[in-house]
Amino acid sequence: LGVCTPSNGLWRCEFGRSLAGMCMYFIQKPVKIKGVTQQRITNFHSAGSMLPQLRHSLTVNALKKGCTHLLFLDSDMKFPADTANRLINADKDIIAANCTTRAFPTEAVAHNLEGRRLSSRGKHGLEKVQHVGMAVMLIKREVFEVLRPPLYLMDWIPDYGAYCGEDVYFCTRAQEAGFDLWVDHDLSHEI
């Protein structure tokens, strides 16, 4: 497992505690991954101001190290110790927590298959989505074996008069290549 954290160079202390707890849990309670004989967790960090470039560098480095799964965790997230295990056990090509926006009033970042915002409030289980943020997202290596750069662009959307985030761009590319995207509503309640 490659844990990929882009940041501006600073981590919130809650993130550091969550990351340490998750790493310990992952080591103490190994996940059964088909075809994997030795389980490791490696943390990758990239700092700077260009988020698409940070995500790209993290992806390249994790894949070079042979990681079978890449877990993107933004440095302002707080999450339970079993986060990696739960996402891996779901056995989806791409699965994420439905985090919220940073600005008030906060809104869920996932959009359902009809393109409307999808709240996880009151929901349980997994749900297929159109796109979701990458703040807490697990991606199998096979996805990157199919997709080629650019994977993380901030594209201009004339109809909205705004840019879409690099995460939406990635989700769109993945879907065009035939991969489904999922949200774990239960985990989302704990992020």
User: What's the chain look like in SS3?
Assistant: CEEEEEECCCCCHHHHHHHHHHHHHHHHCCCCCCCCCCCCCEEEEEECCCHHHHHHHHHHHHHHCCCCEEEEECCCCCCCCCHHHHHHHCCCCEEECCCECCCCCCCECCECCCCCECCCCCCCCEEEECECCCCEEEEEHHHHHHCCCCCCCCCEECCCCEECCHHHHHHHHHHHCCCCEEEEHHHHCCC
CA-closest candidate to residue 72, choices 20, 139, 165: 139
pTM of the model: 0.95
- pLDDT computed for residue 152 by the predictor: 95
- pLDDT computed for residue 159 by the predictor: 82
Average pLDDT along the chain, 191 residues, taken 10 residues at a time:
95 95 93 81 95 96 96 96 97 95 84 92 96 96 96 88 90 96 97 93
CA-closest candidate to residue 168, choices 55, 48, 43, 46: 55
- pLDDT computed for residue 100 by the predictor: 86
